Amino acid sequence: MTNIKKQRTINEIKEKKIIAILRNVPLDKLENTVKAIVDGGISLIEIAHNQKAKNCIEDNAAAIRMIKERFKDAVTLGSGTVMNKEQVDSAVQAGADFILSPNFKPEVVLRANELEVVVIPGALTPSEIVDAYECGADFIKLFPVDNLGIGYVKAIKGPLNYIPLIGVGGITTENFVDYLYSGMEGISVGSYLANDALIKEDNYAEIERRAKSFSSRVLEAKRFK
């Protein structure tokens, strides 16, 4: 039986649809970046691990703790690019509500389930998708979705319509509603939203504008579905 906190996170993802991916955002710019995204109507935030960083696990945990302390219930917070059990443990201890990976690694899915947090592994082929879901994934991160396009999503959703998918890769304001129309439960947006150049320039107004351009169309997508 799914616990209340985990079920709340699942419902939030299904309702809000859009996860903002923050990758390698400097800690001194992270609060303003998250504020711009939240002010733009997106409350699902993913803080991705930088696997090349010397203090990869510690950096991710510090970012999660800071955001949790500052924004509290205004955000539902995920830890991304999670590759092993140690990273699951650290992220959950820091306050992560969900775990995302670019690939399917059973130990990550199983550990997240032991800790009773939502887990979203990455997969692409039908076999990978089914294996990850049967292992205990709550959603499957279809990645990289833009390489194969809407036609592939529709083909996958035919026989696998019982498996909830999150589209990741190449998502923009021009195509994200089409992906939701195709049957996905949600999408994740990375550099198009939390753009490195915009963050470097402290152009948080543009980040907020881009967030609004996504969040303002979620109702439209849900009506169609």
Residue-wise pLDDT for 27-60, tens only, equals 999 999 999 999 999 999 999 999 999 999 999 9
pTM score, whole prediction: 0.95
For residue range 164-182, list pLDDT tens digits in order. Answer: 999 999 999 899 999 998 8
Q: Model confidence at 1, in pLDDT bands (50, 70, 90)?
A: low
- Two structure tokens written together for 195: 């753009």
Question: pLDDT band for position 222 (50/70/90)?
Answer: low
Q: d(Cα 62, Cα 59) in Å, to the nearest integer?
A: 5
pLDDT on residue 91:
98
Q: Would you state the structure tokens that stand for residue 146, as one six-digit string? A: 């833009």
Interior/surface letters 5-20, b for 16+ CB within 10 angstroms, e for the rest:
ebeebbebbeebbbbb
Alpha-carbon span 181 to 118, nearest angstrom: 24
pLDDT at residue 196 in the model: 94
What letters, b where the CB count within 10 A reaches 16 and e where it falls short, cover 39-67?
A: ebbbbbbbbbbeeeeeebbebbbebbebb
Alpha-carbon distance 122 to 139, whole Å?
9
Task: Give the domains, in start order, of the chain with CATH numbers.
Answer: 4-224 (3.20.20.70)
* Residues in the chain, overall count: 225
On average, the pLDDT of the chain sits at: 95
Judged against a pLDDT cut of 80, whether residue 100 lies above it is answered with yes
